[in-house]
């Protein structure tokens, strides 16, 4: 069933007002749910809406409501909730949802373009005598102790009932892959967020009109944790030293002496360029946050190497794709099975041109090659230190963020 005209118009207005969110806005899959009261979004990008409520709202307020729901997805409220919430306590889940609304709405209230809906009243920190600009975790801990929270009706968008995108699933949500809309897979959702981060950065450079919270979010999303210029200095230098002064004959470039022997095609001389490969772990043990961290690190590697692209081998218990990329957003995240990065390393070694170094991005839950592979191998662990990395490989450990 196509969404009502009001919702389509609101999505168009939201993408016009906040163009850097277009990829996310148009990934939302509308699902009609009478009785939801307002609207909410689950972690699979399905937008549940009450047709009666949608019909009554001006387009500008619906556009702002969509902007609000995008905030839950971008801030990863459902993922951050997993470390704090007891899944059996529904009240705690609602409080977390309310805390997430406070984190979002205090930023939205600063934007002139946002037109808040009148019913239900949007939750903002001031309603609970809390300061603006804090995190969802900060608000959650304090709202649990606030007796006023218990008496507040939880009726919809921006007031504590925004769906599993902000915490636990609500009764009106469909199981993944079922219902009116199938939902967006986690891996695809991460690529959409990556695209939004790039669009935010591009918009800021060209027009400079991006909200502060989105600029911070995009910067954190795109900035690698590892200083790859420093960490890979030795590896890249070894690769460059290997090819420096080395000359190969190739028919890709015809010899300049062809005029002296017009009847014979002579090969020209060229210097090889250092070439690297990345093996990306997309197994079922890799969380959304870890995949997002990997994408940020890949962009960091591309920027640090100064090379014209890298070949990325997407691997779980098999190698699913191997393609040259110039940006992490070009990677197709497929997998979700078991883990064996040895297969990705072997595929990289067999590829042509043969890489001069290989970087493996993984959570570490994988077997490793038993013997040195003949070129530098950099094992990058994105979820803290793990044992098992061979002594002959270079190991880089990315610490787990405190608010992961």
pLDDT tens digit sequence for 199-237: 999 998 887 789 999 998 988 888 777 777 676 666 655
What residue ranges do the domains of the chain occupy?
A: 5-188, 274-397
Contacts for 253 with CB less than 8 Å, ≥ 6 apart: 267, 268, 269, 270
DSSP symbol at 274:
P
Whole-angstrom distance, CA of residue 372 vs CA of residue 317: 21
Is the per-residue pLDDT at 371 higher than 80? yes
Q: Which fold has domain 274-397?
A: Rossmann fold (3.40.50)
Is the per-residue pLDDT at 197 higher than 50? yes
Is the per-residue pLDDT at 174 higher than 80? yes
Confidence of residue 386 (pLDDT cuts 50, 70, 90): confident
pLDDT tens digit sequence for 100-110: 889 999 999 88
Burial class (CB in 10 A: 0-12, 13-18, 19+), 353: exposed
H/E stretch holding 320: strand 319-325
For the chain, what percent of residues have pLDDT higher than 70? Answer: 78
Q: Which residue has the higher pLDDT, 253 or 264?
A: 264
Q: pTM higher than 0.85 for the full model?
A: no
Whole-angstrom distance, CA of residue 165 vs CA of residue 167: 6
CB 353 within 8 A of CB 243: no
CA neighbor of 24 nearest in space, from 79, 57, 71: 71
């Amino acid at each position: 069933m196509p969404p009502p005209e009001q919702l389509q118009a609101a999505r168009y207005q939201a993408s016009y007002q906040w163009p850097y969110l277009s990829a996310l806005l148009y990934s939302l899959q509308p699902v009609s749910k009478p009785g939801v009261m307002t609207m909410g979004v689950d972690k699979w990008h399905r937008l549940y809406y009450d047709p009666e409520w949608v019909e009554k709202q001006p387009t500008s307020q619906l556009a702002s409501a969509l902007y609000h729901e995008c905030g839950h997805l971008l801030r990863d409220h459902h993922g951050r909730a997993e470390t704090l919430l007891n899944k059996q306590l529904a009240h705690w889940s609602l409080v977390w949802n309310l805390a997430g609304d406070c984190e979002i709405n205090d930023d939205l209230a600063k934007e002139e373009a946002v037109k808040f809906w009148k019913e239900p009243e949007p939750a903002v920190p001031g309603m609970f005598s809390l300061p603006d600009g804090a995190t969802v975790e900060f608000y959650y801990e304090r709202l649990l102790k606030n007796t006023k929270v218990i008496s507040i009706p939880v009726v919809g968008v921006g007031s504590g009932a925004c769906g599993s995108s902000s915490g636990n699933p609500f009764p009106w949500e469909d199981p993944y892959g079922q219902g009116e809309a199938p939902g967006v897979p986690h891996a695809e959702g991460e690529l959409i967020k990556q695209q939004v981060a790039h669009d935010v950065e591009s918009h800021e450079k060209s027009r400079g009109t991006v909200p502060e919270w989105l600029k911070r979010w995009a910067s954190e999303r795109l900035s690698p944790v590892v200083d790859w210029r420093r960490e890979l200095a030795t590896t890249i230098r070894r690769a460059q030293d290997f090819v420096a002064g080395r000359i190969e004959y190739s028919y890709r470039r015809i010899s300049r002496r062809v005029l002296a022997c017009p009847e014979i095609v002579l090969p020209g001389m060229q210097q090889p360029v250092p070439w690297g490969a990345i093996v990306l772990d997309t197994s079922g043990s890799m969380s959304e946050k870890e995949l997002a961290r990997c994408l940020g690190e890949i962009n960091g590697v591309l920027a640090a190497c100064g090379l014209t692209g890298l070949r990325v081998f997407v691997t779980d218990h098999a190698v699913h794709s191997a393609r040259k990329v110039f940006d992490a957003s070009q990677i197709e995240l497929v997998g979700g099975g078991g883990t064996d990065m040895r297969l990705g390393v072997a595929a990289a070694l067999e590829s042509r041109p043969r890489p001069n170094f290989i970087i493996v991005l993984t959570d570490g839950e994988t077997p490793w090659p038993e013997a040195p592979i003949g070129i530098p191998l950099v094992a990058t662990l994105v979820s803290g230190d793990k044992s098992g990395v061979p002594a002959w490989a270079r190991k880089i450990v990315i610490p787990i963020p405190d608010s992961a």
